[in-house]
Structure 1
Amino acid sequence: MQQNIASVPAHDIPEGQSTKKAGTINPYVLLFIMLLITAAATWVVPAGEFDRVLREGVKFAVPGSLHEVARAGVGIGHVFVFIAEGMVKSAPIIFLILFTGGAVNLLEQSGALTNALNALVHRKGSSDTLIIVSVCVVFSLLGTTGVVINSVVAFIPLGMLLARSMNLPRIFGVGLIYLGTYSGFNSAIINPGTTGLAQRLAELPLFSGMGFRVAIYIAFAIASVVFLALYARRCRREGLAHEDADAGQSTQIQVTTAHWLILAFTVVALVTFIYGAINFHWSENEMSAMFIIIAIGVGFLARMSAGAIADAFLKGCSQLIPGALIVGLASAIALVLGHGHILDTIVNAIANVLAPLDEIFAALGMFASAALLHIVISSGSGESAALVPLYVPVGDALHITRQVTVETILLGEGVINSINPSSGVMMAVLAIGRIGYGQWLRFVLPLTLVWTAISIVVLIIGVTIQWGPF
């Protein structure tokens, strides 16, 4: 008898099927190599620091204040200490990932989510394009408002389940959620942690230039939808299916009243979190708590015993351990840079290179350097605090508006997020999806190039029209 899809956890691998492919790079190995290179750089790059001023709770660099400090090279023993410290520092996002796994496993065991997704995919009138547009619109809006950024990892299992129901490769489901979210994050229309902070540091009116930024958002979202739709079409044409042989097949697609109650409870919990994130600045800790609530509520609505709920929750947590711990390893890179006092030296050197350039080439240089620096400054707010005070004087001298200067940084960090090997969030996403970095790079590089082209056009237009208010 054919096995019902609801009984097969999305995280499990069919017996005999390997997730390893030739040429893939284990994310843990890649990050550890980067960590060793960063530690070696602390012995070569001159140590230096900017003076910093605290304004409204944010420390920002004072241009022209770079001064030499004592070298603080990181030895091999300290590298492992920083890994441990990175795990501690990243505890909120690590536990969010683990608790996500627990809640999703209970939703899978109840059959509610899997059967609902199957019903959606097989409903008359449904198509790959319609599903892609619907999901991308929702997650791009959550991304551009800053509601879902780091917490995008919590929704990756949903994308994997959706890909399984559509009988498309796992990487499609991962990309559907991640790229949908970050197509919105790239424009960051009203994201207080990126656009809001950068504009405040540049002394621009909060969320000014919104009209042009909405056009940027639309361009990124359309590019992402078209990319995913073309990929899905190619998979259908070439017969590329989900890695599970039973994916997309079900002997019975039936959503019962109990399933609807479970789904309604889950939606209400998630909407409550979104409301709290917007109005009360809830973040990873509150979302972790919400997933515990979801797990318990789903278990009782599915009439599971307390012991069965606990067992299912712990099993789900264990399935996402690889994706959770990688966040701490990525965080260790930033700790090494900070201890070695070399980041400010690197930033200052780039600012000096940009100063003599033509205004358009300087703006594009700011964009390119912001993208490269995001590999070592994986925090969007941290990069804004480091670069805005240094790039604004350069832009002022070259008659580049501050709005354009801010946008060079936002677009640089946004575009590189899709391929940034030091991003704990992205590497966690790949670990959860069991996708090698090389495999992901081959998949996403065409869209990244399109996003880059959009950014270049946007910046050239911004410089040409003197996008302001100033």
Structure 2
Amino acid sequence: MKKFPNAFVIIIGVAFLAWALTYLIPQGSYQRTVNEESGVARVINDSYQTIDAEYLSPFDFLLAIPEGIAGRAETIVLILLIGGCFYIIEKTGALNQGLGKLVSLLEGKEVLALIIVSALFAAGGATIGLQEEIVAMIPILLLFGRSLGYNTLATLCMSYGSAVLGSAFSPSNPFAVIIAQKEAGIPLLSGSELRLVVMLVAFTIWILYLIRYTQKNKIEKVEMPPVEKSSSIRGQIILTLLCVTFGVVIYGVLNMDWGFNEMSACFFGLGIASGLVGKLGVNETGEMYIAGFREMIFACIILGLANSISLILKQGMIIDTVVYGLFGPLQYLSPAVSGVVMMISQSLLHFPLPSYSGQAVLTMPILVPLSDLIGLSRQTCVLAFQYGAVLADFITPTNGALMAVLAVCNVPYNKWVKFIFKPLLLLLAIGAMAIVIAVSIGYA
């Protein structure tokens, strides 16, 4: 059997397919209005019409590659600087020191470790939509997982997988729930009680699944390397700075409207401070930063290439046609069935449109009037969006964060899809049941 294509080949192949589809799918567009205060473009319902635009040339396809990478510049800078920062901290010995103590505390309590780590990443997903930031943490997480006897897939699930779950079922994810509620014209953070209950149910089932998997697929534990006693105090200072930095970043994102650049600045400062506290010196700290960049560069390129796909589809003027085709038939279905089909349609749409915040801005103005027409509450419409779109991040090959994480872990995409497909269906089933319940109780 031939070797399955790597992440680079998959992304380029999907980009080429997207370019080919611009010749096959009719071009069309919705009319849009721009909010003068926010600058956000909103779709006008029932304004779709076919158009006659120029097709993308082969050179346009090639041009979309560098433009896609450049379009994710802030995210790429964040991954590079976080990667360099963690590489420096690792070289100071502070991470080995901290992980060693943590592993010794959790010795014989591997299930507890799985629950704690999964809960932390789920909380990160629920509060700040954590995803891209995980890419730079993967080497450390893999070391931690192996020290507890967990294989790569288990480590991926308790980190990236838990973050996606938290993002999807969150009552407050700013990039999914809040944007979608704003577009739907309903109070922000309203309906959080049902979302929170469903998230707890989904997380419990997710944890039970992971516990079952890890017990059946244990690997030999890898002992943490010994740490010199003389580095103990410096290591504690560095780890304290790390915790403080995470606290500052979370506060900034939640309360000061911080973006990737502000987060990057914090981690850059942490990396420099850690190198100096760890007595690496100015030159070696710089060299370690460069070495950390090298570790992350392939993941960054994959992230940028994934952005090229959605860029091609937008420039080819077929995204709106896909939306029109997916959601048009919903008006002929009952509210409960329509809600579930809406969730599935959002999942499918997430493949060509991997930004779920952008997906909310595009689809909610179309779906809200449709929901009003068929008797589906706007709150349930938002549920269908967040469950369908965000859960698709488990397998969407156009999602740069996923492909970057798999690239760093050296896990083939087909192996990951085969592994995650069953739990993903289980989570989608939970989402579908939540939508049916929401319809039955008049969730609004």
Structure 1 length as normaliser, TM-score?
Answer: 0.89
Residue 365 in structure 1 maps to residue 347 in structure 2: no
Give deviations 1:142-168, integer Å, cap 9, x for gaps. 211125243332433332231132242
Tell me which amino acid in the other structure corresponds to 2:22.
T
1:230 match? 212
2:21 match? 41
1:457 match? 433
2:83 match? 101
Query: Which blocks of at least 5 consecutive residues in structure 2 are unaligned?
Result: none
Structure 2 distance, partners of 1:176, 1:416, is 17
Would the alpha carbon gap of residues 62 and 136 (structure 1) be closer, same or farther in structure 2, given more than 3 Å must change?
Answer: same
CA contact (8 A) 1:35 1:333 kept: yes
Structure 2 counterparts to residues 232-271 of structure 1, below 5 A: 232-236=214-218, 240-241=219-220, 247-248=222-223, 250=225, 256-271=232-247
Give deviations 1:29-67, integer Å, cap 9, x for gaps. 111111111101111111111001223432121111112
Structure 2 counterparts to residues 9-408 of structure 1, below 5 A: 24-55=4-35, 56-123=38-105, 126-146=108-128, 148-236=130-218, 240-241=219-220, 247-248=222-223, 250=225, 256-408=232-384
CA contact (8 A) 1:179 1:224 kept: no
Which region of structure 1 is more displaced relative to structure 2, 192-201 or 456-465?
A: 192-201
Partner SS for 1:46? coil
CA contact (8 A) 2:103 2:148 kept: yes
Which region of structure 1 is more displaced relative to structure 2, 51-60 or 149-158?
A: 149-158
Using the TM superposition, give the Cα deviation of residue 126 of structure 1 relative to its aligned residue in structure 2, in angstroms.
4.9
Structure 2 distance, partners of 1:57, 1:434, is 40
CA contact (8 A) 2:86 2:136 kept: no
Structure 2 length as normaliser, TM-score?
Answer: 0.95
Partner SS for 2:47? coil
Using the TM superposition, give the Cα deviation of residue 273 of structure 1 relative to its aligned residue in structure 2, in angstroms.
1.1
Partner SS for 2:386? helix
CA contact (8 A) 1:48 1:68 kept: yes
Partner SS for 1:256? helix
Structure 2 counterparts to residues 410-425 of structure 1, below 5 A: 410-425=386-401
Structure 2 distance, partners of 1:419, 1:253, is 42
Which region of structure 1 is more displaced relative to structure 2, 222-231 or 387-396?
A: 222-231
Structure 1 distance, partners of 2:385, 2:262, is 29
Structure 1 distance, partners of 2:328, 2:156, is 39
Structure 1 distance, partners of 2:276, 2:388, is 46
Query: Which blocks of at least 5 consecutive residues in structure 1 are unaligned?
Result: 1-20
Give deviations 1:269-317, integer Å, cap 9, x for gaps. 1211111111111121122222211111111111111111111111111
Using the TM superposition, give the Cα deviation of residue 462 of structure 1 relative to its aligned residue in structure 2, in angstroms.
0.9
Tell me which amino acid in the other structure corresponds to 2:342.
M
Using the TM superposition, give the Cα deviation of residue 445 of structure 1 relative to its aligned residue in structure 2, in angstroms.
1.7
1:436 match? 412
Give deviations 1:161-199, integer Å, cap 9, x for gaps. 311322422332232211121111012211222111111
CA contact (8 A) 1:46 1:71 kept: no
Partner SS for 2:169? coil
Structure 1 distance, partners of 2:228, 2:107, is 16
Using the TM superposition, give the Cα deviation of residue 457 of structure 1 relative to its aligned residue in structure 2, in angstroms.
0.8
Q: Report the aligned-residue RMSD.
A: 1.9
State the identity as a percent. 27
Structure 2 distance, partners of 1:84, 1:72, is 21
Structure 2 distance, partners of 1:168, 1:303, is 33
Tell me which amino acid in the other structure corresponds to 1:318.
R
CA contact (8 A) 2:131 2:160 kept: no
Would the alpha carbon gap of residues 108 and 351 (structure 1) be closer, same or farther in structure 2, given more than 3 Å must change?
Answer: same
Tell me which amino acid in the other structure corresponds to 2:44.
V
Would the alpha carbon gap of residues 162 and 253 (structure 1) be closer, same or farther in structure 2, given more than 3 Å must change?
Answer: farther
Structure 1 distance, partners of 2:241, 2:98, is 14
Structure 1 distance, partners of 2:224, 2:134, is 28
Using the TM superposition, give the Cα deviation of residue 257 of structure 1 relative to its aligned residue in structure 2, in angstroms.
1.6
CA contact (8 A) 2:86 2:137 kept: no
1:447 match? 423
Tell me which amino acid in the other structure corresponds to 2:19.
A
Give deviations 1:350-377, integer Å, cap 9, x for gaps. 2222111122211111011000001111
Aligned pair count?
Answer: 441
Structure 1 distance, partners of 2:263, 2:135, is 12
Tell me which amino acid in the other structure corresponds to 1:450.
L
